[in-house]
Amino acid sequence: MRPLKLTMSAFGPYAGKTELDLAALGTGGLYLITGETGAGKTTIFDAISYALYDAPSGGDRSREMLRSKYAREDTKTYVELEFLCKGKHYAIRRSPAYLRKKVRGEGMTRQDAAVELILPDGRAPMTKNREVEEEIRKIIGVDRGQFARIAMIAQGDFRQVLMASTDERRAIFRDLFGTAPYEKVQKRLSADANDLRRSLHDELRGAEQYYSEIYCAAESVHSAETERAREGKLTSEEVDDLLDRLLSEDAQEDGKLGEERRKAEEKLRAVESALKTASELREKKQNLIRKEAEYAKASVSAEQAEAMCIKAAEEERRGRRLGERAALIRNGIGRYEELDRLQEELENVSSETREKEQVLIRKKFSRAEAAKTLESLKVENAALKDAGINLEQKLNGQKELQREMEELQQLLKQFREHDDLAAKYRDAQNEYRACRKKNLNAEDAYQKANRAYLDEQAGILAETLREGIPCPVCGAVEHPKPARKAAGAPDKELLEHLRRELMRSQEELEAASGRAGEIGGTLSEMKKKLMDRFRSYFGSPDLRENRPEPEQMSFWYSETEGTVQEQMRIGEPENLESRDSEQLKDRVDSRLGQTMKKLSRLEEEIEKEKNRSCRKTEVERRIPVIETEIADRDREIEDESSQLASASAQKEALGSRIDLLRRQLEFPGKKDAEQEIGRLEKEGTRLEKAKQDADAVREQAQGYLRRLEGEIGTLKEQIRETPVPDEELLYTEKAELQTALSSINEAQKEIHARVSGNRRVRERLCENKETLKQTEEELEVVGALADTASGTLSGRPKLMLETYVQSAYFDRIIGRANVRFLRMTRGQYELRRRTEADQNRSQSGLELDVLDHYNNSLRDVRTLSGGESFMASLSLALGLSDEIQASAGGIRLDSMYVDEGFGTLDDEALTQALDALASLAESDRLVGIISHVEGLAERIDRQIVIHKSRQDGSSAELVV
């Protein structure tokens, strides 16, 4: 991946729009990114990382911190990057969320984050953040973390690796190599082993607690022994034997009580059966009385049902006569159908006649209305003969008035803009005066403190004198009367603080002066254009003469180490005073009102003239149409009159036939005849059903009477055969038996509770033995795993699992790093990972040594000098970059960046480091070195120079 062009707007320290044509740097070799500290050198790589991955290269800044604090409120914040990858051209634009000035109204509003990726295959640009992230990952082949470690060689991070212990390196490598999961495994195994140890201790203590839950009967021969067990005075074997004897004793007692319970229950069932027989006998006697009463009522009901059957038979015969009459009427139903047909035909003819009469009336009325309309149109046409003659002249006048109104409205708008800018200018003046006052106060405080500090130099020097040590001024070793520093005299720190405050107030004064001057110039230019436009309508304005001279503001400042004195003047611009502005606006507003009234009257006249012209055209079109319509109506009226006469004759003939047929029939129509047939048949059916219902009621009453006779006979027989028991004696015996059973139940409940509790104790003791064994076996396995993973095995090297994994990564990186480290040191040094700890007393595995080939010695890497340490850390950083590219499937980045650290090298070491980096740039790879070291600017021709400004932020310049 090779960046071609980078554009930053209001990003980081870059306040405005900054464009860098990175393609001009070429396709290979070294180039320098240089500038002051804090100017924004690393920001260039941050911008590339943000454009691609929505995050800067480092983790110390959030997206909300990306907008430049120097940018104007209306300047947009975004980064655009054009890059080449695998021969294809891509472009991406990304902007963070930030606050910007509202387009309409006052105040600020939130601008949402946005992204756009343009692809080379002609697909629509991608604008969804998730889709863009996935596509960038596919295009470049690495994620953000890998890109940051491959493309940005921050060798300062690897200097920490050189100077760190194994524990410190483990924490650093955890982020670099992603080995946190192995650390979690170590901690989880240690936690599990500790949990098992605590469980084993708790289980041993828990077994003794079960002995207090052993119980026996108060009268038991084992009560004394049970008490000893509860006090923990028996062994576990004695407790097991006691529990067996207690359970056996309770089982025998429970068997005896069970036999007594069975006998009592048999007696109770016999008593309850006898009581049940006595209760049933009482119920049968009561039932017999009820049945005899029901039999008397049923006899009366049977007699009533018989009478109803006789009456229903007579009604059935009447129903058969009604059916015969219905059949007679049905035979003549055909003549009613003929009557209905004639009546329907008459209704159709009558309806048709009425419709024709209405049509004839409407046509005559329509003909009369058309005639009146024709006459009215002819009169109106004569009155409109001059319509539309003056329309064109009035339309031209309308356009002229509209143009004048728009220009006057624009002039009023410019007056308002002038007033707003004048108010901002007054605010800027007030701000300047406040800054000037603050600057004068700061200068006065600094000058006073400086004089006091210089006056007290002797007292300050005297505080440092010691007996027997020569005075740095006179050389005396005795100091009988040293000078005394006055109380409250300022020290050097206070003086430096006041100097910084003075410089800060001076910068604020300069900024306020610049803002007021910029606004004043804009205001003067605006007033000139405004008055030129005003004069084009109204001539020279009549404004007041002899205004006071513009107020002049100035300030001076001087520095303690120079003779620079600068005078800046901000004059009151030539602007309109508030009263003058209102006077001129009133004149414009009055002229605008007059123009609008004229335009309104003219528009009304134009609308009327347009309406008259359109109406004349419409009238001339409609006159021949209506004349044709009148002739058509005359022909239609004649045809409708002939058809109406024929329909009236047909209607009269049908009426005569219907009258003759009606006189021959019994009912007015077929429907009436059918209704009578239905009524007669329905009544006949009802009478027949009534006869059937009466027969059913009689049969039901007689059957119920016979059933009651049988039930009464059965009850009388059962009462005679059942003996009468003594219920009072039976209830007494039942109560005694229930009391005995209750006592047996209570005794058995106590036995069952003891048995259940003692069995539970025995089961828990058995379970505890198995649990103890299982916990001990599990602790043996987990404890060994935890000691192995944590590197705490006795007599073994202290090598943790995470450290072991990290050492494998570390070995591959060291191997790649040594290729460049040997080249940088001209074959003198080679990095080696220490594989053995000192006497197995501390954690090991990540210690780093350096092999000196000049004297064939192996020593700690922390003994290297500053320059040698830089080359070692740079080699490690490059080794990590190579390893990540190799593990990412052979991904190759055509541009890389190396950040800082070159200031610790002498000329020879710097040359060697640059040679090593130059080797990276071979085969069309471009390497950017980020540094403020001046010596690099002389060695590297291609440069990106960053210029820093206190007021306007940073800017970048490409030097090729």
Report pLDDT for 486. Answer: 64
Position 732 pLDDT exceeds 70:
yes
Percentage above 70 pLDDT, the chain: 84
DSSP count for the chain of H helices, then E strands: 19, 18
Number of other residues whose CB lies within 10 A of the CB of residue 462 = 16
Average pLDDT, the chain: 79
Mean pLDDT, to the nearest integer, of 710-732? 79
**Cα separation, 957 vs 21, whole angstroms:** 10
Report pLDDT for 82. Answer: 96
Position 886 pLDDT exceeds 70:
yes
219 dihedral zone (left: phi>0; alpha: psi -120 to 50; beta)? alpha
Range 1-141+931-960: architecture per CATH = 3-Layer(aba) Sandwich (3.40)
Position 699 pLDDT exceeds 70:
yes
Report pLDDT for 460. Answer: 65
Q: Quick one: DSSP state of residue 551?
A: P
C-alpha closest to that of 67 among 95, 102, 35: 95
Instruction: For residue 522, give every residue at least 6 positions away whose Cβ sits within 8 Å of its Cβ, in sequence order, or none.
Output: 421
Mean pLDDT, to the nearest integer, of 833-846? 65
**Cα separation, 946 vs 413, whole angstroms:** 43
Position 763 pLDDT exceeds 60:
yes
**Cα separation, 220 vs 212, whole angstroms:** 18
Report pLDDT for 558. Answer: 32
CA dist 704 → 60, 187, 300, 697 (Å)? 104, 92, 12, 11
Residue in this structure with the two tokens 């000329």, named with its chain if needed: 907
Report pLDDT for 546. Answer: 38
Position 562 pLDDT exceeds 60:
no
Burial label for 896, CB within 10 Å (0-12, 13-18, 19+), is buried
Position 455 pLDDT exceeds 90:
no
Mean pLDDT, to the nearest integer, of 739-764? 84
Report pLDDT for 881. Answer: 73
Number of other residues whose CB lies within 10 A of the CB of residue 158 = 25
Relative to beta strand 943-949, strand 29-35 is: parallel
Burial label for 797, CB within 10 Å (0-12, 13-18, 19+), is middle
pLDDT in tens, 639-691: 888 887 888 887 788 888 778 777 777 777 777 777 878 888 788 888 888 88
DSSP string, 25-40: G-SSEEEEEEESTTSS
Identify which of 252-261, 423-432, 562-571, 583-592 has the greatest average pLDDT.
423-432
Report pLDDT for 154. Answer: 62
The model's confidence at residue 577, banded by pLDDT at 50, 70 and 90, is: low
Backbone angles phi, psi at 515, to 5 degrees: -65, -40
The model's confidence at residue 166, banded by pLDDT at 50, 70 and 90, is: confident
Position 288 pLDDT exceeds 60:
yes
Number of other residues whose CB lies within 10 A of the CB of residue 198 = 9
Task: Write a three-state SS string for 481-508.
Answer: CCCCCCCCCCCHHHHHHHHHHHHHHHHH
**Cα separation, 580 vs 738, whole angstroms:** 119
What does the longest C-alpha to C-alpha distance in the chain come to?
Answer: 169
pLDDT in tens, 540-556: 665 544 344 333 333 33
Position 508 pLDDT exceeds 70:
yes
Report pLDDT for 77. Answer: 93
Report pLDDT for 151. Answer: 74
Report pLDDT for 564. Answer: 30
Q: Where are the alpha helices (DSSP H) in 124-216?
A: 129-140, 144-151, 155-163, 166-177, 180-209
Mean pLDDT, to the nearest integer, of 71-95? 92
The model's confidence at residue 563, banded by pLDDT at 50, 70 and 90, is: very low
- HSE of 948, CA atoms in CB hemisphere, 13 A: 13
C-alpha closest to that of 387 among 619, 622, 600: 619
Of 156-165, 613-622, 697-706, which range is least confident? 156-165
Report pLDDT for 52. Answer: 92
The model's confidence at residue 795, banded by pLDDT at 50, 70 and 90, is: low
Position 9 pLDDT exceeds 90:
yes
Report pLDDT for 938. Answer: 79
Report pLDDT for 560. Answer: 32
Mean pLDDT, to the nearest integer, of 22-36? 87
In 828-911, the DSSP E strands lie at 829-833, 848-852, 857-860, 895-899
Helix H or strand E encompassing 555? strand 552-555
Mean pLDDT, to the nearest integer, of 409-420? 84
The model's confidence at residue 559, banded by pLDDT at 50, 70 and 90, is: very low
Percentage above 90 pLDDT, the chain: 10
- HSE of 874, CA atoms in CB hemisphere, 13 A: 30
3-class SS of residue 726: coil
Of 881 and 578, more confident: 881
Position 131 pLDDT exceeds 90:
yes
Instruction: For residue 276, give every residue at least 6 positions away whose Cβ sits within 8 Å of its Cβ, in sequence order, or none.
Output: none
Report pLDDT for 606. Answer: 81
Residue in this structure with the two tokens 């505890």, named with its chain if needed: 768
Position 572 pLDDT exceeds 50:
no
Report pLDDT for 61. Answer: 58
Burial label for 770, CB within 10 Å (0-12, 13-18, 19+), is exposed
Of 43 and 730, more confident: 43
Number of other residues whose CB lies within 10 A of the CB of residue 363 = 20
What are the domain boundaries of the chain? 1-141+931-960, 194-215+748-790, 236-329+695-725, 357-383+580-664, 392-576
The model's confidence at residue 204, banded by pLDDT at 50, 70 and 90, is: low
Identify which of 194-203, 327-336, 370-379 has the greatest average pLDDT.
370-379
The model's confidence at residue 405, banded by pLDDT at 50, 70 and 90, is: confident
Report pLDDT for 176. Answer: 63
